[in-house]
Structure 1
């Protein structure tokens, strides 16, 4: 475990945020987003190179950075990391469970050890993070936990059985913990942000056993869109936030017509995950399932050319109150004008 915060500048109360899987992808973009708000951000991940890159970006964005090398699949390491954060930065305000690992592969080609590892990181990592956060938040009666989920927490697709299983489990676990907090009248917010397809490095660093390189099923969004949603969810009491119209469409369709969606997933979700452009996959390339990648891979994957920088659905979701007020005002003005003309 390493890390020492940079406390340059005048002392002031900053929001303390912990992000697992904060060295790359959505976690990296989220760390920068909170840093831009002036937060003290602790990033938890295994790779020293990625953590160093995250620290630089957080500090450049105006935040205080703390990097901790930790494997979230180890409950003791997560607990020690939480202690370290509070010793150096103060009480944790927001804990974001974002770490993930996966295997892109037909189920029958995944070994038991691979499936176990992907489940421990993606699902149990969120359990251990939630436990460490609640141990500190419950006595204080305040705090927010954000679970970074996916449309695949509702709708399973082929070639991602390990990831889908972990995200389904995360959703059930989160609902159960939320119910317990409500029962005990503990005012801690626990929310889940369900994401669409994003341009992150997981499609390059994740283990796969496919004839082509894996890709997200389009449309694809930039990780900064997810970061905006996660930061918003951390400051608003909302049970779930769906990010991107594909998530809304997929989840609603699954709830209403699960059989049809399953058949579509079998047909479209297979070839749709194959990147047929560029070179074939290197069978000897490193992946991050059991060991971290020894380089800083940043927030973005290789899909910048097609990734969207914004989501209309997310904008509508985040501005629902203002939109409702605008509609109400328009109705009142319309009635008033009609009455004057009449």
Structure 2
């Protein structure tokens, strides 16, 4: 019997790469996003790869619409086995340049969108006592950086919400599982679509990984949901550990480097952004899973192998984190 998986934010980036992986398994893949052009394109990919697609255009900030997505999914395919929350929006700007309306919108999509998806999935999974929810998180949900206060705040909120929910599921002895896959910097189209007030074109903080690396981490987390969270990419783990060991050093380091490291030498993209409306409204607007940083993005991560061996992962990343901390200490001392 085919697995039924719902993927939000499925029209591009990590969500789209994840949809392709499930399609190769012959899964029923419910594709959720606002941009109908991207959704139609990924639906074609899913069908070619051996899956059964169902397109559902929806804004995850709209709880009633999210509920309708689940109803349509189960009417078409039967019970939902896996729900993956991946949709988000953001604004690149110093906090004082982000309007109240913009900050609210990022929070509604990037945090409350996950809450809406989780609630809708649990409504169906809890009575059956089975199912898995994967929250696609970020290293920025544990270590904030400048110029992304709204996004970082939302990702932190997802971690807190999910931890609370996990304890409730444990209390009731439920066989429904929720886990978080924490992501590194990923080469997605968001850097062309994002609302930005930066002087230059926004970019992810290197090292950058391809969406396929992230998608493999998401699927692995869904297959093995008993762990609290998974870290995808060695830089994610090193960042988290360094933040726990030397947070003040990271503050000073990011204050000095975090502005330049998130901007290229190119001028910002012109045209519409996707904060309030999708930009991929027709198939001609579709940009696929990748962004514009293919030349510098990594398609593999040694940490992908280690993640299957938790003891080795802990030892290896602990050493890496200590190295990062010592490097930051030396760099900060030299620039002081």
Compute the TM-score of the two structures, normalised by the length of structure 1: 0.88
Aligned match for 1:72, one of 34, 39, 60? 60
Deviation at residue 315 of structure 1 after TM alignment: 1.4
**Cα distance between partner residues in 2 of 1:79 and 1:189:** 20
Deviation at residue 321 of structure 1 after TM alignment: 8.4
Equivalent in the alignment of 1:173: 161
Equivalent in the alignment of 2:7: 19
Equivalent in the alignment of 1:334: none
- The answer to which of 112-121 and 309-318 deviates more is 309-318
Larger Rg: 1
Q: CA RMSD in A?
A: 1.4
Equivalent in the alignment of 2:295: 305
Deviation at residue 69 of structure 1 after TM alignment: 0.6
**Cα distance between partner residues in 2 of 1:99 and 1:93:** 19
Equivalent in the alignment of 1:98: 86
Aligned match for 1:314, one of 304, 307, 324? 304
Deviation at residue 320 of structure 1 after TM alignment: 4.9
Equivalent in the alignment of 1:289: 275
Which residues of structure 1 form unaligned runs of 5+? 1-12, 324-342
Give the ranges of 4+ consecutive aligned residues of structure 1 lying more than 2 Å apart after TM superposition: 318-323
Equivalent in the alignment of 2:319: none
**Cα distance between partner residues in 2 of 1:308 and 1:49:** 27
- The answer to which of 216-225 and 264-273 deviates more is 264-273
Aligned match for 2:261, one of 252, 272, 293? 272
Q: Does 1:57 align with 2:51?
A: no
Deviation at residue 75 of structure 1 after TM alignment: 0.4
Q: Does 1:122 align with 2:110?
A: yes
**Cα distance between partner residues in 2 of 1:322 and 1:167:** 27
Compute the TM-score of the two structures, normalised by the length of structure 2: 0.90
Q: Does 1:136 align with 2:117?
A: no
Is the partner of 1:299 in helix, strand or coil? coil
**Cα distance between partner residues in 1 of 2:252 and 2:179:** 30
After superposition, the C-alpha distances for 1:205-243 in whole angstroms (9 at most, x for unaligned) are: 111000000000110000000110100100102210001
Give aligned pairs, total. Answer: 309
Which residues of structure 2 form unaligned runs of 5+? 314-336
Aligned match for 1:249, one of 238, 259, 278? 238
Is the partner of 1:226 in helix, strand or coil? helix
Conserved in 2, the CA contact under 8 Å of 1:242 and 1:314?
no
